[in-house]
Structure 1
Amino acid sequence: MGKYTEQAKELLEHVGGSGNISVVTHCATRMRFVLNDPSKADIDSIEKMKLVKGTFTQAGQFQVIIGNEVSSFYNEFISIAGVSDTSKDEAKKAAKQNMNFLQRMIAHLADIFTPLIPAIVVGGLILGFRNVIGEIKLMEDGTKTLVEVSQFWAGTNSFLWLIGEAIFHFLPVGITWAVARKMGATPILGIVLGITLVSPQLLNAYAVAGAEEVPFWDFGFAQVDMIGYQAQVIPAILAGLLLSFLELRLRKIIPNAISMIVVPFFALVPTVLIAHTVLGPIGWKIGSVISDVVYSGLTSSLGWLFAAVFGFAYAPLVITGLHHMTNAIDLQLMSVFDGTNLWPMIALSNIAQGSAVLAMIYLNRKDEQEKQVSVPAAISCYLGVTEPAMFGINLKYGFPFLAAMIGSMVAAVISVGSGVMAHSIGVGGIPGFLSIKAEHMLTFLIAMVLAIVIPFILTIVFSKLNMGKVSLKRVRG
C-alpha cells in the first residue's frame, strides 16, 4: 500500500468515480479534473479531507489543491483510478467543452500569455533592480545614484539592459511564438514572424514620433512604411493569428508531397506583408485606444473611483480567470506610456490577500493543523502566488476574503490617487516595490502598508462579529 492509497481512494469516490473523470492532470500544487458531470463531485467531503487545502472550478476544470506533494499523489491516484496520464494541453482541450464563449476567449488569452509570464517577471525584476541602482539617489548625501559613483554598478546597469530589452522590446517574438504554438501552427514560423516585426532594419516604434523621415519599401505601385512594432501586443497577436489561420488552412489543401515547401512559404510571406500593411497599423491603433482609455480613466478626476472598483474586484476576477486580460493591458500601457499604473494595484491586491491569511494565522495560532496550510499560503501570497491563500484559506472562511478586498480597494485608491507608476510587470507581492518608479516608491510603500494592516485588522474584527458562513473552527470539522 502506498503513502497516499487511502486518500486517493477517498478522493476518487468523492469526484464521482473513474467513470466521471474525462481527463485528469496536475500542476505544481493542484489536481486538475475535467469531469463528465461536475455535479457529482462532493465538494464538502473533498474539502474535509486532511490532504486537501481547498477546491475551486476555473476554466472548465475542477481543481483540488493538494500542495507540494501533488506529483506523488497524482501518480498513485491515476494508478488506483485506472485513468491514463494526460498532458496539460489535452486537459485544457477537454475542459473547453464545459466553457461558454467568453470563458473560451479568456482561456485562449491565458494560453498565449501564460508561457510568457516567467520571462516577463524576470524582465520586471531586472528593470526594478536597474531602477534602484540607476534612479534612486542613495549615495553622497542623496545627490547621486550607485551608477553615478561606481563603474561596477554602471557596467551592471548597462549589462542588465541587454536582458530587459530582449524581453520587453522584442516581446512580439514571444507573442507570435505563443500564438502559433497555441493554435497548432509551426512555432518556428511564429518566431520568424515576430522577428520581422522588430527587426533592426525597421524604424524603432519608439522613434516614429520624432523621426524626420520614415523609411519605406518601394514596390513601384505602392510604398510600405518600414516601422517596427517593438513592445506592441495587439499587432503581434493579430499577426500570429493570421499566420496560424493560413498555415492550418493550407495544410488541408496542399498535397503532403509538397507541403513541406509550399505551406511555410505561402503562410509566412503573405502574413508578413499583411502584418506591415494592415494588421500592424490597425493593431497599433486599437492598442493605443485601449491604453489611452485605461490611462485616462486612472488619471482623471474619477480615477479614484476606477481604482476603488478595480482594487475591490480584482481578487474575484482571479477566481473567474478574467484577470488574464490585465497582462495585455499592462504590456500595452508600458509600450505607450513607458510604465503602467494598473499593475501596482494588482500587486497590492495580492499583498492584501496574504495579510488576511496572516490574520487567520494569528486567530488560529493554537491550531497546528491550520498553520500547516496557512503559513505556506501567506508566504507564497506575499511572493505573488495568491492561489493557496485565496482558495485554501480566504474563500473557505469568507470574511478574510472580504477583508482583503476592502484593504486592496483602499490601497488602490492611494496608489492611483498619487499617480504611482511601475516600470513594468514584476513579482506581484511585496518584492513588487522594486518595479515601481523611483519617484513613486514612498507612496507605494504607504499603500503597501495599508494593504497589510487593513485586511489584518478587518479580518480580526469580522471574526469577532461572526461574519461569514463559517466560524473560526476549521471547516474540516
Structure 2
Amino acid sequence: MQHEEIARKLLSHIGGSENVMNISHCTTRLRFNVRDEAKIDIAAIEKMESVQGTFFRYGLFQIIFGAGVVHKIYKEMLHLCASAPLEEGMQPESQSAMNYFTRFAKTLSDIFVPIIPAMAASGLLMGLIGVLKEFSGGAINGPVMKMLDMFSSSAFIILPVLLGFSAAKQFGANPFLGAVIGGILTHPDLLDPSLLGSKTPSTIDVFGFQVPLIGYQGTVIPILLSVYIMSKIEKVLKKVVPSSLDLLVIPFITVMITGFAAIFMMGPVSLFIGHLMSESLGFVYQYAGAAAGFLFGGLYSLIVLSGLHHSFYVIEASLLADPEYGVNFLLPIWSMANVAQGGAGLAVFLKTKNANVKKIAIPASLTAFLGIVEPVMFGVNLKRLNPFIGASIGGALGGAYVTFMNVAANSYGLSGIPMISIILPLGTANLIHYLIGFAIAVVSAFIATLCLGLKEEKEE
C-alpha cells in the first residue's frame, strides 16, 4: 500500500481529522491525541496490512508500523490534517494524572529519544574503528583513522549541547539557550573529566572560593539540572521583562545566571550524584552478579511496556563518564531482554495457525534482533501473554549469563545484532560471551514459549 493510501484509511478509522488533536511519532510508532477515543475503530486499524499492533499509553493512541515506514505515514497524516490545525503542547489527561516518579522518568525518556540516532551513529562508528584495529593488528592508522576517531567521539563530546537543546524543549524553554548552556559545560578551557586521573584541573578564585575548572563532556546530569534551572529563570523573566526588551534582556540574564549556576553549583553537585549512582550500581553488579542480571533481564520488558526504558540512558551515560568504570555493563542485559522477545515471536510463528499473525511474526522478530522491540512485543507477544512470559524467561537467563561473564559495551543506544559493534572493541572474549548470551536468551525464550503454549485470540 502507498503511504498516502495508508494514511487516508487510517484517518477514516480514527474518526477523521476533526477528531485528531495532535500527531507525533517515534522510531516505530505513530501517536495520536484524540478528542473522542470512542470514535477509533481499533479492530479495523489492526486489520490493516501495514499495522503491526496498537495500544493506549498516557492518553495517547499508538499504532506500530515499524522503523523506516512510520515517518513517511506521519508526513502524509500531517498533509491530510492540514485543514484542521493541530493543537500544540497537548498534555493528555492520563499523563497529567501520573505520579511524580512516572512523570519524571517519562520526561527523561522524551529528552533522550530525539538524540538516539546520534548516539547510535557514534556507537557504530566506534565499533567500526574497533573492528579495523582488532583485525589489522593496529596497522591501520593515518588520516582516515584520525577522521573516523573524530566522527565517532563528536556526539559524546557535545552530548551536553544535544541534551541541552532537547531538554529545553521539554521544559518549555528556549532550546537554543539550552544548547548554549551545554556549550558552556563543554568549553575547551574546562578540563575533560576523563582526564582527571592524569591531569589536575586549574582553579579560579570566585569570592574567596577556589573553583576547579572541570568540564562535563559526555555527562548527562549536569546539563539536565542546569537547563531545568534555566527554564525556571526564563519563565520568571518573561513575566517581569517588558515585551519590547525580551529579545535582548531575557537571553542575556538567563545565560549569565544559569552559566554561573552550572559551573559553580549544578556541575559539582551533579558529578557527586552521578558518581553515587555509578558506585551503587557497581556494588550491586559486583556482589549480586548473575542474580542481578537474572532479575534485570526478566523485568526489563515490563519497563519497556511503560515506555520509561529510555530514561535509563541517564544511568548508562553516568557509567561511561565515570573514570572508575568507563563501560556500560547494563546495556548487554537490556539487549538480552530485547532479543528474547524475538525468540518468543519465532515460537508464535511456529505455533499459530493464523496467516496474518505469521506474516507479522517473522519480520517483527527479526526487527527485535536488530534492536527495535516494540513491533514483536506489542503486535505479537503481549496480545497472547504466554509468549511475553516466555520472552521474560529468556531475558532473565540471558541477562544472568552476560552479567556473570562481565560483558560490557563502550556506548549506548544499540542492542541486538548492531550492538556487536560496541561490544567487540572491548575484546574478542567480550564478544564471544555476548553472542553466547544472545543465543541463550533467544533459544530459551523460544522453548519457554513452546512449553507454555499459545492461546489463539477468538477473532483468529
Normalising by the smaller structure, the TM-score range is: 0.7 to 0.9
How has the CA–CA distance of structure 1 residues 262 and 8 changed in structure 2, closer, same or farther, with 3 Å as cutoff?
A: closer
| Structure 1 counterpart of 2:221 | 234
Contact 1:311 1:410 in 2 (8 A): yes
| Structure 2 counterpart of 1:143 | none
| 1:147-176 deviation per Cα after TM superposition (whole angstroms, max 9, x unaligned) | 52334xx54433222122211132111111
Contact 1:59 1:321 in 2 (8 A): no
| Structure 1 counterpart of 2:152 | 164
Amino acid at match of 1:116: I
Amino acid at match of 1:193: I
Aligned-pair distance for 1:415? 0.4
| Structure 2 counterpart of 1:334 | 320
Taking the TM superposition and a 5 Å limit, the aligned residue runs for 1:56-75 are 56-66=55-65
Q: Work out the CA distance in 1 between the residues paired with 2:72 and 2:280.
A: 48
Aligned-pair distance for 1:95? 6.7
| Structure 1 counterpart of 2:260 | 273
How has the CA–CA distance of structure 1 residues 78 and 130 changed in structure 2, closer, same or farther, with 3 Å as cutoff?
A: closer
Aligned-pair distance for 1:239? 1.0
Q: Work out the CA distance in 2 between the residues paired with 1:456 and 1:83.
A: 48
What SS class does the counterpart of residue 403 from structure 1 fall into? helix
Q: Work out the CA distance in 1 between the residues paired with 2:116 and 2:82.
A: 34
How has the CA–CA distance of structure 1 residues 393 and 408 changed in structure 2, closer, same or farther, with 3 Å as cutoff?
A: same
Aligned-pair distance for 1:264? 1.1
Q: Work out the CA distance in 1 between the residues paired with 2:11 and 2:328.
A: 48
Q: Work out the CA distance in 2 between the residues paired with 1:389 and 1:83.
A: 35
Taking the TM superposition and a 5 Å limit, the aligned residue runs for 1:9-28 are 11-12=13-14, 22-25=21-24
How has the CA–CA distance of structure 1 residues 374 and 198 changed in structure 2, closer, same or farther, with 3 Å as cutoff?
A: same
1:122 equivalenced with 2:148 (yes/no): no
How has the CA–CA distance of structure 1 residues 190 and 397 changed in structure 2, closer, same or farther, with 3 Å as cutoff?
A: same
| More deviation, 115-124/201-210 | 201-210
1:312 equivalenced with 2:314 (yes/no): no
Q: Work out the CA distance in 2 between the residues paired with 1:74 and 1:237.
A: 29
Amino acid at match of 1:114: V
What SS class does the counterpart of residue 256 from structure 1 fall into? coil
What SS class does the counterpart of residue 55 from structure 1 fall into? strand
TM-score by length of 2: 0.87
Contact 1:7 1:51 in 2 (8 A): no
Q: Work out the CA distance in 2 between the residues paired with 1:431 and 1:310.
A: 21
1:355 equivalenced with 2:343 (yes/no): yes
| Structure 2 counterpart of 1:414 | 401
Amino acid at match of 1:115: P
Q: Work out the CA distance in 1 between the residues paired with 2:184 and 2:70.
A: 42
Q: Work out the CA distance in 2 between the residues paired with 1:74 and 1:257.
A: 38
1:149 equivalenced with 2:139 (yes/no): yes
Contact 2:14 2:39 in 1 (8 A): no
| Structure 2 counterpart of 1:195 | 183
| Structure 2 counterpart of 1:460 | 450
Q: Work out the CA distance in 1 between the residues paired with 2:285 and 2:223.
A: 26
What SS class does the counterpart of residue 149 from structure 1 fall into? coil
| 1:335-382 deviation per Cα after TM superposition (whole angstroms, max 9, x unaligned) | 111111001111121111112112222334x75433332222122211
> Percent of counterpart pairs with the same letter?
31
Amino acid at match of 1:353: Q
Amino acid at match of 2:376: A
| 1:14-72 deviation per Cα after TM superposition (whole angstroms, max 9, x unaligned) | xxx88875545555654423345657867567546666432222233121335676678
Q: Work out the CA distance in 2 between the residues paired with 1:12 and 1:226.
A: 55
Q: Work out the CA distance in 1 between the residues paired with 2:19 and 2:92.
A: 17
Aligned-pair distance for 1:217? 2.1
How has the CA–CA distance of structure 1 residues 347 and 155 changed in structure 2, closer, same or farther, with 3 Å as cutoff?
A: farther
What SS class does the counterpart of residue 245 from structure 2 fall into? helix
| More deviation, 48-57/332-341 | 48-57
Give structure 1 stretches of 5+ with no counterpart. 139-145
| 1:263-293 deviation per Cα after TM superposition (whole angstroms, max 9, x unaligned) | 1111111111111111111011001101111
Contact 1:12 1:81 in 2 (8 A): no
The number of residue pairs the alignment matches comes to 451
| Structure 1 counterpart of 2:86 | 86
Aligned-pair distance for 1:8? 4.3
Give structure 2 stretches of 5+ with no counterpart. none
Aligned-pair distance for 1:80? 9.3
1:343 equivalenced with 2:331 (yes/no): yes
| Structure 1 counterpart of 2:111 | 112
| More deviation, 289-298/371-380 | 371-380
| Structure 2 counterpart of 1:298 | 285
Aligned with 1:324 (options 310, 318, 331): 310
| Structure 2 counterpart of 1:286 | 273
Aligned-pair distance for 1:330? 0.7
How has the CA–CA distance of structure 1 residues 91 and 360 changed in structure 2, closer, same or farther, with 3 Å as cutoff?
A: farther
What SS class does the counterpart of residue 420 from structure 1 fall into? coil
| More deviation, 387-396/189-198 | 189-198
1:253 equivalenced with 2:240 (yes/no): yes
- Is the radius of gyration larger for structure 1 or structure 2? 1
Amino acid at match of 2:237: L
| Structure 1 counterpart of 2:169 | 181
Q: Work out the CA distance in 2 between the residues paired with 1:189 and 1:81.
A: 32
Q: Work out the CA distance in 2 between the residues paired with 1:76 and 1:334.
A: 40
